[in-house]
Every structure is written in structure tokens, then in C-alpha cells.
Structure 1
Amino acid sequence: MRRGIGLLAVGLLLAGCAGTPRAAPALDGGGGAIDGPLKVVVRGLAPGEQAVVWARTTDDRGRLWTSWGVFAADRGGRVDIATQSPTSGSYTGVDPTGLLWSMRLPSGEPVSDPFAVVRGPELGLTIGVDVGGRTLAQSPVAVQLHTPGVRSVPIAEAGLVGDLHLPPGPGPHPGVILLGGSDGGRPDPGLGRFLAGKGFAVLGLAYFGLPGLPPALERIPVEYGTRAVDWLRTRPDVSDGPVGVVGLSRGGEFALLLGAFSPDVGAVASVVGSGVVFPGATPTASSWTHAGAELPPLTTDFAGIPPALLFSATRGRPVRFVDTQGTTATPEQLDHAAIPVERNNAAYLLVSGERDEMWPSQRLLDVAARRLGDRAEHVVQPGAGHFILGVPNLPTSYTSAVPLVPEVFWAAGGGAPQANAAATADTVRRVVELFREEL
């Protein structure tokens, strides 16, 4: 009996020396809107303790995206991504959106599409915290990609092809036309819904590459776009005031043309666009016509893609198309092909990337800025590349170079993921402000 009591006492003593198991840290996560901060706070850590805070999502193609940061808990045993910088991870610096835009695919997974594909109204995340290689807490978080109640309707009427994105409520709402780039087809529906959530009736207008439209970006009538402006203004859910136009890349070029030739366009945002007309799929033909005549395109002594660029492509290096896209054009050649943006009294926002490697957007938009004078604001996004118009804070990990032929041929977009993310958020904010002020 005494021996049993002694063993029990020893057991209790040893248990007391081992200490009680520590409580799991508390994880507080909140999503909100995609253009706002992501809230992630961890409590209950030891002061100075290293913790990995991570985020994961699976897009509509079944691909896993993940981001992470290693943080040292403050003196209160707390980590707050809104005020603390990770010591390492998928992003640097204090950034409450860093866990969103820095998401990437698992190492070694082929990048067939550089963007996370999310068609629903929310981005569903799992937020977690690891300590010592073990996950101690995790929580689901929903981030709204657009305002609830936004409606999208496919359009195929009056010779127009696209998607109409409408805000909640009957309206009438200010009208906006959204134009995509040289990939053709319908422009980014996610961006269309995001802008609709800001109160605009957005027509995402396709202008080539779909049934009923020209097969390639060549000899596109500017009147196709002006007809879209007229169609939008006559809808009962759209106000009959001036229409805004926003376009990316070649769509930014088209946006400037609509600003020049449609008196009902009151605001134009050209993002990494061109103030000069570029050739079409055939180098000797223009991309655009007006009143049945080709608009004079930029003509240079370009004789094809240099062999050095093709050699880079065969070695898996991204091709810098900027080297073939008018960097050597003379001022006289640029002036000959300039879009007559001064014809209209619209307000203009011109946005270029300081490190655009797709084409020299800063130089090309300077042509429009000089012709417009005080009516244009030309913003050069620092350190940014070509892909800087989209839903804010979605992953930009693969926007510095995008796959044209997966695992074979990459095109350089330029910039770094962090700079491209910051530029995208700032550009979209400026576009919304422009349209709210002018429409």
C-alpha cells in the first residue's frame, strides 16, 4: 500500500515538472473586400517566438495557391500582419494585402494560366499559423471580389459582343466600356463585376476573336466602339450622360480612339496603352479604320523578331517584346501615327509601367499626353510592368513573365510581383475616382 502511494506521488511530481500543455494560439482572421486590407492577428505566442502565418486557396481550375510569412511575436506574444513585417516569406515589408497578391502555385507546377481563376463572388481562403513545423490554428476567410447583388448578362445584339455588368438596384447608372488587350475576346469579367460594384454599368466589349467579329486585330472599325457607346446610353438602366472608357494595352489604344471620335465619351483611362496607332496582324495594315479608311499606323524599319530574342525563347527565357515595339521610332514617325485625342473635351487618365517589357507604354502614352496638355494626367507606376489593370490584390506572382505556350514560350511583362500588385491597386483606384468625378 505504502509502495503504491509512493509511486503515485512520484508520478504526480514528474507530471508537475513537465508542466501543463500550452494552449493553442488564437487566430483572428477577417476578409472584407478584395481592395481592402486582410485582417490576420495571432495571439497567445511567446514573446519573440517565430510563427509562420499562411494563406491558401484553390481556384476554379483546381489549382492550389499559397502564400506565407515568418513573423516574430511582439512582447505581448502577438502577430498582426497589418503592422508587422515578415522576416521572410512570399512578400516583404508591412503589407496587410501581402498574403493575397503574393500567392503562388506549388514549386514545379507548370504555369498554364498566370492568374488565379475565380468566377464566383468570393475568394475563399484558409488562414493558418504554424509553430515549430506544426499547424496550431487555422480558420476559413471569405474575401468579397465585388459588391453583392452585381449582375452579369452576356450581350450579342446590335452587332456587339460582350458582357454587361450591372450594379445592384434599378439605376440609372453611369455607363463604362471596358476593353481588353491583344488576347482578344471578352475582357476580364472579374474586373467588370468589380467596377460594377463601384456603381457603374460596365460593358465588357469584345472587338475581335469571337464569332461575329473580325478574326484578328486588324482593320477594326472605330465605329464598332462608338456604336457600343450609343447602345449603352440608350439602355433604361444606364444614365444618358457621358460614357467612360477604360482599356488595357491595345484596349488602351482603342480607348484613346473612342475618346477622339465619340463626342459622348466623357472620361478615358488608357492603361499601358498607346497614343499612336499600331499595325495590325499584317505589318503593313492598320489595326483600325475610321469612316472606311485605315488610320495611319506606326511604320518603322522593323524587319522581324531579332534572332537573339528567338534564341532566348528556345532557352526558356522570356522574350522582351518591348525591343520590337517602337522603341526606336523617330518623333516624326510617332507624330504621323498619333491618335488625335485633342478632338474631344474628355478627361484623360494615362497610366504606364516604368518597367513595361511588353512595349514602351511610357513613351507611347507621352505622345497622347503632349497633345492633351492639362487635360491628361500621366501616371508612371514605379517598378511596374505591363499587367497592371485587374481586380486588386489577386495574385501577381506570374505577371513579370506570362506563358504564351506553357513550358515553351514566355513573354516578359516586366516589373516585379510586389510592384505590379501595388500598381494594379493604385491604377484601379484612380480609374474609379476618374469615373466618379467625370460621369
Structure 2
Amino acid sequence: MAGLTVSPEISLVDEPVTIQVWGLPPEQSITLRAWLKDEKGEIFHSRAFYQTDKEGNLDLDKSPATGGDFIGLYPMGLFWALRPSVPFLRLMKRDVMGSPFLVHLELYTSLVLSPGPEDVPVASQVIERWYVAPGVQRILIREGRVRGALFLPPGEGPFPGVIDMFGGVGGLLEFRSSLLASRGFASLALAYFAYDDLPGFLGSVDLEYFEEAAQFLCNHPKVSSDGVGVVSICKGAEMGLAMASYLPQVSATVCINGTNAVNGNNLTYGDLTVNGIPYYAEGLLITDFGSLSLTNSMEDPRKPEHQDAILPLEKARGPILFLVGDKDQNYNSLFFAREAMARAERYGKKDVYLQCYPGAGHLLEPPGSPFCPVSQSPFFPLPLTWGGDLLAHCRAQETSWKQIQEFLCRNIKCSRRNKL
């Protein structure tokens, strides 16, 4: 009798699982399929073809896929390759506390391109993939102007504090913060537009809002008061670099596929005003798939008229880590990161680092996020192209997630507060 084993059956999404098949004829071609429903009921699915060994068994840690959605030895490939049944959807967990994603794994004893009513799996298993570890606490934040959600690990602390920001989709995204808290960080998922009573679109950016958030986190009794880290992507990475450049509370900054200058929106901080570099709408590219690529829609910050918009990262209190996918089709992020590195060298700032991932696109997220090369955006009439190659991008997500945590642990001091 054929069997399918997936272990562990309950895990965090950034943890690997082991998939094994047993009890089949030797050297038989089979299909493994994975699928899940997101919180709106949309189905994401993947499949890969394999061949059992001489004993009729299969271990994805040792056996390469021969075809399907990918080829090669990729034990987590079925999770990486999950794609939407409806085009241009992005898999994102909204309710991180209430429920996991239920991933269905199915075994077919033939090559199945698209399962129909006549295709019945000979074995199946459902596993739970959570975005939050047991004991992590979520606190909705409405403190002064600050809006977001604070995730605290179990225990008294103090924990290293991190502000977590996303980009142009707006709203409040919590899945990275809940995972950071599951790994020991006090993480504030910070909204800065299109959420609650914040502006519905991103106009002029007031850096004092972000300073208020950083000070709130430093003041929290379970968070180290020595300074906070920032993890940010896309437009959020621009905000993150501005925070690093101007705010004394920021002690370590991770900028994922961002820029080195203020773009589009003006930035204010007290008496300081930085005029954003206007977007170059004529540079928008419509791809063969009917999606937008924004790579050429940003002006070169090296032009004389844009010099004042370049962020003075040499003033940053702590180290800065740029993480870049070299196939980013949303930003020309490798160019911007190299410009930032060149400025750091000119000014003698030694603790600015660049990690480039060949084949990776824009949406470098925790390993639980499947590859998303293109998806719909609420602020654009056409889907946005993010870029990247499936296997290289998902490998980069696993590597970068570890590097982010190591960088934050190494550079955020975590001293114990004096008890009153």
C-alpha cells in the first residue's frame, strides 16, 4: 500500500519539511501536487514529477524532480512553486494569529499535468504552516500618530526591537513581523499610509512619524532601549534608509530592493525638506504579459539637479545592509545599492554592505512566500512585474532570511533595563 509522509505536520512557514513516499513499485514515475486556499478562497497549486528508487521509495531531500514546475533537487520546491489559479494574485497571509495555511500534499501514481475528476490521489496529507510561534503576543498599536501591530516573543525580555515596513501596496502587512517575533525579535509592523486614519495615498512623507514609532519601540518595557533595527523593502526601504540617515534611535538597517535617494514624494523632518526626484512616467514599460515594469521610471540620482535628494547614509549611527535581486524588474535596485556603496566609500563609512542574489527578483520575502513574478497592485491599472527566476529567487529568500536575522542580532544591542 502506497503512503505519503510529511514531517513535521505543524511548522512555521520559514521551516523546511521532509516529504517521503513509500510502498510503490520500483522506478515508477509519479506526481506530487501541493495546493492551498488563501483567506479569500483562491487556490494556489504546484506539481512536480519524480521517479521512485529501486525499493519503490522516494525522499525529496535526496531525489530530484524530473519535471513539472521545476527540475532538480529542491526539497521545498513544491512550496516555492505555488502559483495562483487566477492570474496576478499574490499569496499573502493577513490573519497571522488566527489560523495557518493548510497545505494539501497529494500523491499520484502517474504523470498528472492537471488533475481532473478521474485523477484520484493514492495518498494525501494536510499540514499546517503557521506565521506565528506559540506564545507570541500581538498588540494593535494606536499610540499618538503611530499605527501598526507589535509582536512580542514569549518571556520578559528585553528583546531586540525591529521596525518592519513594506512598500507601495500600503496598509498593514504583518507576516514578516510575526515571523521575526517567532525568532526572538520585538517587531513592530508599521503602517504609513492606506491604513486606519493614515492618509489613503502616500503624499509628503514626515520623518517625524517614523521617529515617533522608533521612540515608542525603544520606550517599550520589553524592548531594549539601546536602539532599534529596521527591515524594509521597496518604497519602505527608501523610508528605512532615511530613518538610518537622520534618526539616532536606529542602530541597524536592512534595505531590500530599494533606492539611495528620495523619489516621487517630498520628505520633511523638522525644518528639513528633501524634494523627491520626480518619477519618469515615460519610462514605464508594458511587458508582453500585459504587466508594468517600473525599472526605468526613476531618474538617475547622479544628475546635478537631483543631488540634494540623495540620502546622507554616511550620517547613519549603525550599519546598513542592502539586499538586492539582480533580476528586480520593479526597481533598478542593484544600481541604487551600488551608488549607496560608492557614497559610503567616499565618506569613509565602513559598515555598509551589499549582498546581491543572482536570479532573484524584487519581492525578497521570508521563505514561506512562494515565488511571485507579477501581481496586481491597488495603485496601478495594470499588474506590476517583480522579476526573478523561480529557483534562484526562492534560494535567495532562504539565504537572505538567515542573513537578516544574523545581521540584526549582531548589531542591535540588547541590554537589560534597570528595574524600578
TM-score, L = length of structure 2: 0.88
SS, match of residue 428 in structure 1: helix
Residues 410 and 273 (structure 1), Cα distance of their counterparts in 2 relative to 1, 3 Å cut = same
SS, match of residue 409 in structure 1: coil
Amino acid of the residue matched to residue 360 of structure 2?
A
Amino acid of the residue matched to residue 395 of structure 1?
P
CA-based RMSD of the aligned residues comes to: 2.3
**Is the CA contact (8 Å cut-off) linking 1:154 and 1:163 kept in structure 2?**
yes
**Is the CA contact (8 Å cut-off) linking 1:54 and 1:69 kept in structure 2?**
yes
- CA shift, 1:164, in A, is 0.8
Residue in 2 aligned with 1:296? 275
SS, match of residue 296 in structure 2: helix
Amino acid of the residue matched to residue 91 of structure 2?
F
TM-score, L = length of structure 1: 0.84
Q: Which consecutive residues of structure 1, in runs of 5 or more, have no partner in the other structure?
A: 1-23, 281-285
Amino acid of the residue matched to residue 392 of structure 1?
P
Residue in 2 aligned with 1:244? 229
**Is the CA contact (8 Å cut-off) linking 2:37 and 2:101 kept in structure 1?**
no
Rounded to whole Å, the distance in 2 between the matches of 1:408 and 1:279 is 18
Residues 406 and 250 (structure 1), Cα distance of their counterparts in 2 relative to 1, 3 Å cut = closer
SS, match of residue 99 in structure 1: helix
Which of 314, 317, 328 is matched with 2:290 structurally? 317
Residues 335 and 423 (structure 1), Cα distance of their counterparts in 2 relative to 1, 3 Å cut = farther
Query: Is 2:333 the partner of 1:392?
Result: no
- CA shift, 1:209, in A, is 2.4
- CA shift, 1:134, in A, is 4.2
Query: Is 2:392 the partner of 1:419?
Result: yes
Query: Is 2:147 the partner of 1:161?
Result: yes
Which of 263, 271, 280 is matched with 2:256 structurally? 271
Query: Is 2:14 the partner of 1:26?
Result: no
Aligned length: 396
Residue in 1 aligned with 2:74? 95
- CA shift, 1:316, in A, is 5.2
Residue in 1 aligned with 2:198? 213
- CA shift, 1:48, in A, is 1.0
Task: Provide Cα deviations, 1:333-387, integer angstroms capped at 9, x if missing partner.
Answer: 5643210111123011101120111121111122222233431111111111111
**Is the CA contact (8 Å cut-off) linking 1:90 and 1:103 kept in structure 2?**
no
Residue in 2 aligned with 1:261? 246
Which of 180, 205, 212 is matched with 1:195 structurally? 180
- CA shift, 1:268, in A, is 0.2
Residues 305 and 263 (structure 1), Cα distance of their counterparts in 2 relative to 1, 3 Å cut = same
Give the percent of matched residue pairs that are identical in Structure 1 and Structure 2: 25
Rounded to whole Å, the distance in 1 between the matches of 2:249 and 2:92 is 35
- CA shift, 1:408, in A, is 6.7
**Is the CA contact (8 Å cut-off) linking 2:33 and 2:105 kept in structure 1?**
yes
Query: Is 2:104 the partner of 1:126?
Result: yes
Residues 329 and 292 (structure 1), Cα distance of their counterparts in 2 relative to 1, 3 Å cut = closer
Rounded to whole Å, the distance in 2 between the matches of 1:99 and 1:184 is 29
Q: Which consecutive residues of structure 2, in runs of 5 or more, have no partner in the other structure?
A: 111-118, 413-420
Query: Is 2:402 the partner of 1:429?
Result: yes
Rounded to whole Å, the distance in 2 between the matches of 1:388 and 1:147 is 22
1:53-64 alignment to 2 at 5 Å?
53-64=32-43
Amino acid of the residue matched to residue 377 of structure 1?
Y
Residues 330 and 406 (structure 1), Cα distance of their counterparts in 2 relative to 1, 3 Å cut = closer
Rounded to whole Å, the distance in 2 between the matches of 1:118 and 1:81 is 30
Which of 188, 201, 213 is matched with 1:228 structurally? 213
- CA shift, 1:269, in A, is 0.2
Task: Provide Cα deviations, 1:160-185, integer angstroms capped at 9, x if missing partner.
Answer: 11111111122221111011102222
Which stretch has the larger CA shift, 231-240 or 362-371?
A: 362-371
Task: Provide Cα deviations, 1:42-94, integer angstroms capped at 9, x if missing partner.
Answer: 11122211111122222211122222211111122111111111111122221
Query: Is 2:162 the partner of 1:176?
Result: yes
Query: Is 2:25 the partner of 1:46?
Result: yes
**Is the CA contact (8 Å cut-off) linking 1:36 and 1:97 kept in structure 2?**
no
- CA shift, 1:211, in A, is 4.2
Larger radius of gyration: 1
SS, match of residue 123 in structure 2: strand
